[in-house]
Amino acid sequence: MLIGANPETIRAAADLLRAGALVAMPTETVYGLAADALNPDAVAKIFAAKGRPADHPLIVHLPDAEHLPRWASSIPREALALARAFWPGPLTLILKRDPGVPDAVTGGQDTVGIRVPNHPVALALLRAFDSGVAAPSANRFGRISPTTAAHVVEELGDAVAMVLDGGPCAVGIESTILDLSRSTPEILRPGAITAEDIAQVIGRMPRQPTAQPASNPAVPRVSGSLAAHYAPRTPLRLVARNDLVAQALAACDQGLRVAVLAHHCADPDDARIVWQAALSDFVGFAHDLYAQLRKLDSLGLDLILVEAPLDDEAWRAISDRLGRAAVGSGIEPA
């Protein structure tokens, strides 16, 4: 049920969570599929609705940092400093779990991912619920994350008891995930909050992931770590800016129907090509990315060509998402 967010519907959503149902809620990053994180049966519904493997850990969303001791058994000073600096906001901290956190949330690992989202609807729901919710992206596993309530309905339909409509997500890509459970801080998933942002708070630079998706780990430590993720059903290929027109025309000459997503307007004015303009700044590109990929994926074309992001630290998160999208694209779910 898609419904506008207001005090009455937020209270109703909190009641649904207490009853073990699934509620889709907006965050500043993407829409999340929320369930009571202390209810393993409710959490199991997330995995069933998404088609998500059970060993993939989930991120717990809290109303505020004061709830941290209920979920983490050891909270380093760096975690508290980062929470003060970036919460509410798109930063997930990996910490040693409290023994009371269900294995269903952590994938059986000794750590748990925690964040406080920066969206008024999500915060109001979490405060009304007064506990943590497990909330991965509200889409089928491995597919393009949803940034509007309509995207959730398209993907999951009646599997969700309520979809709270809070408008388009402001950030548009998933949170940065920072592991603080070991001696050296490490970014496990890049996002809008960069390594430099983190270093300014904790006084040391975290280790960073490789620029390209690594091979699938045997047991994923965090969401979005598989080589194939965020993917359209239409095959997607990353192409250097200067090669876009030539590759698009070559694909058309092979009889393929082609879309291009590019920062720069080099549209060859060929009716066989759908040319979609993308903003050239990170904030604007990230905000629009998933919605644009969904739009192009819905056209029933044969190939999507995307202008390869700049080889620049500021674009690391976009490179990560598009690299995984390219690996996973064109693959129908099992």
pLDDT tens digit sequence for 256-314: 999 999 987 777 778 889 999 999 899 999 999 999 999 999 999 999 999 998 888 88
Using an 8 Å Cβ cutoff, are 134 and 43 in contact?
Answer: yes
Comparing 37 with 223, which gets the higher pLDDT? 37
Using an 8 Å Cβ cutoff, are 112 and 95 in contact?
Answer: yes
Q: Is the dihedral of CA 170, 155, 52, 144 positive or negative?
A: negative
139 pLDDT more than 90: yes
Using an 8 Å Cβ cutoff, are 233 and 130 in contact?
Answer: no
Using an 8 Å Cβ cutoff, are 274 and 297 in contact?
Answer: no
Comparing 210 with 26, which gets the higher pLDDT? 26
The pLDDT of residue 224: 53
Query: Considering only CA atoms, which of 187, 196, 192, 188 is closest in space to residue 175?
Result: 192
The residue-averaged pLDDT of 156-180 equals 96
Question: Among all chains, which residue has been given the structure tokens 């990560």?
Answer: 320
Domain 236-328 -> CATH class? alpha beta
237 pLDDT more than 60: yes
Q: Which residues pair with 276 in a beta bridge?
A: 261
145 pLDDT more than 70: yes
The pLDDT of residue 52: 85
The pLDDT of residue 219: 52
The residue-averaged pLDDT of 238-250 equals 93
203 pLDDT more than 60: yes
Query: Considering only CA atoms, which of 136, 145, 153 is closest in space to residue 173?
Result: 145
How far, in Å, CA of 69 to CA of 299, rounded?
A: 47
CA dihedral 331, 134, 57, 205 (to 10 degrees): 100
214 pLDDT more than 50: no
The residue-averaged pLDDT of 1-14 equals 92
Q: Global pTM?
A: 0.92
Work out the angle between the directed axes of helices 120-129 and 7-18 (0-180°, nearest 10): 50
CA dihedral 25, 28, 29, 34 (to 10 degrees): -20
Domain 2-202 -> CATH class? alpha beta
Report cis status (omega within 30 of 0) of the bond before 220.
no
The residue-averaged pLDDT of 152-167 equals 95
Q: Which residues pair with 306 in a beta bridge?
A: 238, 261
The contacts of residue 189 (CB under 8 Å, 6+ apart) are: 92, 174, 175, 176, 177, 209, 222, 223, 224, 225, 320
Spell out the domain ranges in the chain: 2-202, 236-328
Question: Among all chains, which residue has been given the structure tokens 């393009």?
Answer: 144
Q: What is the CA radius of gyration of the chain?
A: 20
How far, in Å, CA of 186 to CA of 169, rounded?
A: 26
